[in-house]
Structure 1
Amino acid sequence: MTIKKTFITEELDRLKREGLYTNIPVIAGPQGAWVEIEGKKYLSCCSNNYLGFCNDPALIEAVKKYVDKWGVGPGAVRTIAGTLDLHLELEKKLAEFKGTEAAMVVQSGFCANLAAIPPLVSKGDLIFSDELNHASIIDGCRLSRAEIVRFKHADPENLDAQLAKYDNVNCHKLVISDGVFSMDGDIAPLPALVEVAEKHGAMIMVDDAHGEGVLGRGGRGIVDHFNLHGRVDVEVGTLSKAFGVVGGFVAGDAELVDYIRQKARPNLFSSAMTVPDIGANLAALEELSRSEDRVKRLWENGRYLKKGLKDMGFNIGHSETPITPVIIGEATEAKKFSARLFEEGVFAGAITFPTVPMGTARIRVMVSAAHTKEDLNFALQKFQLVGEEMKIISSSR
């Protein structure tokens, strides 16, 4: 290796030495309550397959139907020759589902933030961003070149104070928050954030990646959960978590979505969503619009698992959703805990810095509507076994 590339080896060595190197597991077969890894079956407790759609028969059949009629790929970016009538159908139904005038679909939730933020603010403007916002929000903010002002996590009073400092600055101002924070499972105080943004004349945007399919009527998200329709300027969402597929979208009033469609670089310079993705997402939307059963089952499973882990003495933080962080502390200990669970048949990966702050490494336990009570009891049994073995919880409980 040339001298100029030695930093790569040194950095990889450091990551391994400090327990921050990620060995990526490879799943053979479909994503579900149980998955196959290296020829063995494991209970999956760490995917974002919240509603069990990843391997749902209705979605699979829909994909086959749409592929037979439309093929597999769009063949171009949306603005040249890649917009199929299917894209418009999905956008219409997403807007209806979210209760907005319009929606624009893009390739992923990450791309949705890159699509939404830079057209709304630029150099000389201001972004007020929750300090725990997702990496895709952070990257979208950086790409905009606007000045970024961070406010304390889920703290409307601090946001108010930060905005007040710039009341006399004449520029575009955008407040951004995740709806559900993916590592701690807490819900943004959106009603208060909206009031503060309105008070100071700022636009407000929410990234509802972990609220879609989880909060609101039939999983319509945080805006529906708090009945704030018409008061949130921009809703960004993903189709790769609760929907079980892949893709992202930006939703809002018709003029705003039309404006972003004209300006968003992921829409202008990257090929459109594929036919199988659109077909599967349409089928998931149809199911969510028809029944709330999956959402209710997800919450029931989340409450059951939370109670079991808390009763054992685990630190599960302050989650308000089915996302359940089991906070271990040091990265090396969290990785050891995850490895022992894996040996016992439970697939639950360790989350470490930089995804979470130093000293708060954890196992992010994620249940699904596809899990049975027997599955959850198996998980609880193994968490107790490993927790007592590593002296994280007391064996006297």
Structure 2
Amino acid sequence: MSILDKFSPLAGRYDRMRDSGADPFSIKFDDVVSSVEGVVNGKRTLLFGTNNYLGLTFDPHSVEKSVEAIRLHGTGTTGSRIANGSYKGHEELEAALADFYGRKHCMVFSTGYQANLAMISTLVGQNDHLIIDADSHASIYDASRLGHAPVVRFRHNNPDDLAKRLSRLKDQPGDKLIVVEGIYSMLGDTAPLKEFVDVKREFGAYLMIDEAHSMGVLGETGRGLAEREGVEEDVDFVVGTFSKSLASVGGFCVSSLPGFEILRIAARPYMFTASLPPAIIASTTAALETMRSEPQRRAKLTANARRFYNGLKGAGFTVGPEANPIVAVILNEVDVAVAFWKRLVDEGMYLNLALPPATPSHQAFLRSSVSAAHEPEHIDFAIELMTRVGREFGLLPENVHPFPPRQVTAERLSARAATMPARRPAADVGAGMA
């Protein structure tokens, strides 16, 4: 017997997947050429699974600021801000984020996961109540386990169910914290935030929104769903990440509640984790500046998302409920999803394979994330490739076309990509995309 034997069922499922020739957990990029193109097994591959919403991973401003910071301040801080102090850049980024959101306070964390873990587990104690959406991200569920508050789940995006569950807690002592997300990471659907705010007000609860996938994507200035819905004053805490629109790594929470700063010495995941290195802080600050000064990126992202979503839906695929940058094709059979995913990778398109139990309703998804850096040719290539494979797998009708047929060949696509700015040649990638 071994301490690892408890994972035998999981290992068995993983082995069966690998035996089929597909292993999404061991994808290796030989090179990453641009925000939307990489090299997998010597083949040029379009990237549709990176969450690189604004296409800033190769942004010259961010790259140069990062290089400058690493030369001036070294590779890391080697400790937490509580133990080793804050660098000037940490405080500047927090001030910039607070200003962006129009809030008084901001804390920066080393990951977005850690931001949820710290805030949720610290804000609600054993005499309080945590109320979360049933389809919440794993970081929210893990935070609920780390904390000591009783946890109540309500049906996904259902304000009536939220109200019903809060009504049962009406006479219970303690604070109530509701946690929802701006854009949910699997199906790409948004929360009915105005209705949730009405419920929050009725029962005197606090509201936190995780804008990880909606920052830089929604709202007039990119502050997320709360901005788009006009309810920012009713949201007590906004949590977000740097690993999506800001193209780096890290997380944050902003708030205007008095006394917020005490969380720096109350939140254990903040206190006992090494702070972000100067290079990451610098590139994130630069990316935030670019996001604020170039709203056209968000406009192009929206147009790309609608083009891709409508193209797949028009071809006959079952997709999520909204045309957001996360576009999920919903498949019922895991084996079909795995084979479909492998075929796309083999033919030059990388996206995410999402499998139960990590997915809502225990369905299998082919999950794409669209970028502002994608060109129409990229979108059309992906739609036509997925449509062709879908028909070969017997998932789509033969006579339905997502748009008037055209030749979006790999050669044409690769030639178009070669003219794009802010990219570099791939190193020895052979014949290119096939």
TM-score using structure 2 length: 0.87
Contact 2:127 2:173 in 1 (8 A): no
- Spell out the pairing of 1:335-374 with structure 2 (5 A cutoff): 335-357=338-360, 359-374=362-377
> What is residue 26 of structure 1 aligned with on the other side?
28
- Spell out the pairing of 1:168-317 with structure 2 (5 A cutoff): 168-253=171-256, 255-317=258-320
Equivalent position amino acid for 1:16 in 2 = D
The answer as to 2:135 corresponding to 1:136 is no
Distance 1:64 1:169 in 2: 53
Equivalent position amino acid for 2:11 in 1 = L
The answer as to 2:118 corresponding to 1:115 is yes
Contact 2:236 2:257 in 1 (8 A): no
What percent identity do the matched residue pairs reach? 34
Q: Bigger CA drift: 304-313 or 239-248?
A: 304-313
Q: Report the alpha carbon displacement of residue 21 of structure 1 after superposing the two structures with TM.
A: 6.6
Q: Bigger CA drift: 317-326 or 126-135?
A: 317-326
Contact 2:341 2:353 in 1 (8 A): yes
- Spell out the pairing of 1:16-165 with structure 2 (5 A cutoff): 16-17=15-16, 22-30=24-32, 32-165=35-168
Give ranges in structure 2 of 5+ residues lacking alignment.
401-434
Contact 1:98 1:221 in 2 (8 A): no
Q: Secondary structure at the match of 2:29?
A: coil
Cα-to-partner distance string for 1:180-217 (whole Å, 9 max, x where unaligned):
11111111111211221121111111111101110112
Q: Secondary structure at the match of 1:303?
A: helix
Q: Secondary structure at the match of 1:236?
A: strand
Q: Report the alpha carbon displacement of residue 168 of structure 1 after superposing the two structures with TM.
A: 0.7
Cα-to-partner distance string for 1:83-123 (whole Å, 9 max, x where unaligned):
11110000000111122111110001100011101221111
TM-score using structure 1 length: 0.95
Distance 1:221 1:29 in 2: 32
Q: Report the alpha carbon displacement of residue 5 of structure 1 after superposing the two structures with TM.
A: 4.1
Distance 2:115 2:96 in 1: 17
CA separation of 1:189 and 1:9: change in aligned 2, threshold 3 A: closer
Q: Secondary structure at the match of 1:204?
A: strand
Distance 1:6 1:228 in 2: 49
Matched residue count? 396
Distance 1:47 1:162 in 2: 36
CA separation of 1:11 and 1:159: change in aligned 2, threshold 3 A: closer
Q: Secondary structure at the match of 2:108?
A: strand
> What is residue 15 of structure 1 aligned with on the other side?
14
CA separation of 1:149 and 1:8: change in aligned 2, threshold 3 A: closer
Contact 1:82 1:272 in 2 (8 A): no
Q: Secondary structure at the match of 1:29?
A: strand
Q: Secondary structure at the match of 2:207?
A: strand
Q: Report the alpha carbon displacement of residue 319 of structure 1 after superposing the two structures with TM.
A: 2.2
Distance 2:214 2:320 in 1: 19
Distance 1:242 1:149 in 2: 31
Q: Secondary structure at the match of 1:363?
A: strand
Contact 2:24 2:353 in 1 (8 A): no
Q: Report the alpha carbon displacement of residue 79 of structure 1 after superposing the two structures with TM.
A: 1.1
Distance 2:132 2:117 in 1: 15
Contact 1:100 1:229 in 2 (8 A): no
Aligned-pair RMSD on alpha carbons? 1.7
